[in-house]
Amino acid sequence: MKVLVAMSGGVDSSVAAALLAEAGHDVAGVTLKLWGGASDRGCCSVADVDDARRVADQLGIPHYVFGLADDFSTGVVEPYVAAHAAGRTPNPCVECNRHVKFDRLLRRALAMGFDAVATGHHARIERTSAGRWRLRRGADAAKDQSYVLHMLGQAHLARVLLPVGGLTKREVRSRAAAMGLRTARKPDSQDVCFVAGSDRRAFLGGRIPLHPGRVVDTSGQEVGSVAAVELVTVGQRRGLGLPGGTHEPRYALAVDVAARTVTVGSEDDLSTTETAVEGWTWVDAPAAGAVHAQCSAHGEALPATLDGGVLRWDAPRRRVAPGQSVVLYDGDVVLGGGTAA
């Protein structure tokens, strides 16, 4: 099989490429140049492109660099900025997978004559006895990335390989070390690749106006202020301009950018029994009834009932920030997901 491996310059994608080459596939690597300038970091840095190229040289496979900055800007950065402007909390890694890695890159790979695209994600793809494709959690629960792949449907899964999904992270690093790959001890990337460090304010402030706002309690009484309403996330506790002392902890319950207002309340106020979800996509058939739902990349999947577009939780849980992905599971099998409304 002719496979194009998305090589980020990290250890997972390096080992993914090595395993495929070892298995006898016709492998080439590609690094995506998605972002530059002051935020030239994460999966888009010059150093990471160089690491990916050197690993490809070690493996004796071709290496390409694709400039997909326009697709990344349109599909990831612009929606990220727009979401903050609307008081929502976006998930750019999900949108990068949706619009870039498993859309634009996959289409380009197929046009070049490749049979499949592979990545270093920790998740597993299987084919059932009925010939349907199934997406499962990775073998390493601590590194599982199935949450950010929930948008992959049957047509995608037929053309995607995840070679390290059955390995633990320790096993991945061990294999990289045994092969002498330069990325064997390279730390995992943690930041949003296009936001330098954690300075969202500087990044967003250069693209949209940021507005100071009032902080009010559930009765409407003003109790504090924030420097930028657009940077507040539902569930946030710190940075709300609230007085210390004997007050019980208070959390952001709602963000109203138009009214320049953040409503706060107690941990009990933050609790909810249902979450509206929009923009559903399904790995196979749409789900209904009893499911488990996960609302952050490394959160716990909690039992709920899917009733139309609403998840009704079996037990009260914290509110899900609007804009966050909500992913449904049956055991370790991904059913699909959507976005908290």
E strands along the chain, which residues? 2-6, 26-33, 63-67, 116-118, 123-127, 133-137, 160-161, 213-216, 222-226, 251-256, 261-265, 271-282, 289-294, 302-307, 310-318, 325-330, 333-340
Which is catalytic among the residues 43, 44, 193, 295? 193
Q: Rounded to 10 degrees, what is the CA torsion of 297, 298, 304, 309?
A: -10
Extract the tokens encoding 55: 């690993």
Q: Distance between CA 108 and CA 204 in Å, rounded? A: 31
Which is catalytic among the residues 43, 44, 93, 96? 96
How far CA 231 is from CA of 102, 154, 225, in Å, comes to 29, 36, 13
The residues that bridge with 30 in the sheet, in sequence order, are: 6, 64
Q: Is 295 tagged catalytic?
A: no
Q: Which residues of 35-44 are buried (b: 16+ CB within 10 A; e: fewer)?
A: beeebbbbbb
3-state secondary structure of 266: coil
CB-count exposure of residue 335 (10 Å: 0-12, 13-18, 19+): buried
Extract the tokens encoding 297: 């990349």
The DSSP output letter for 76 is: I
The vertex-86 CA angle with 341 and 193, nearest 5°, equals 90
Extract the tokens encoding 136: 């499962």
Q: Is 44 tagged catalytic?
A: no
Extract the tokens encoding 191: 């930041």
Kindly write down the DSSP assignment for every residue of 299-327, as one continuous string.
---EEEEEETTEEEEEEEEEPPPTT-EEE
**Which residues are known catalytic residues?**
96, 193
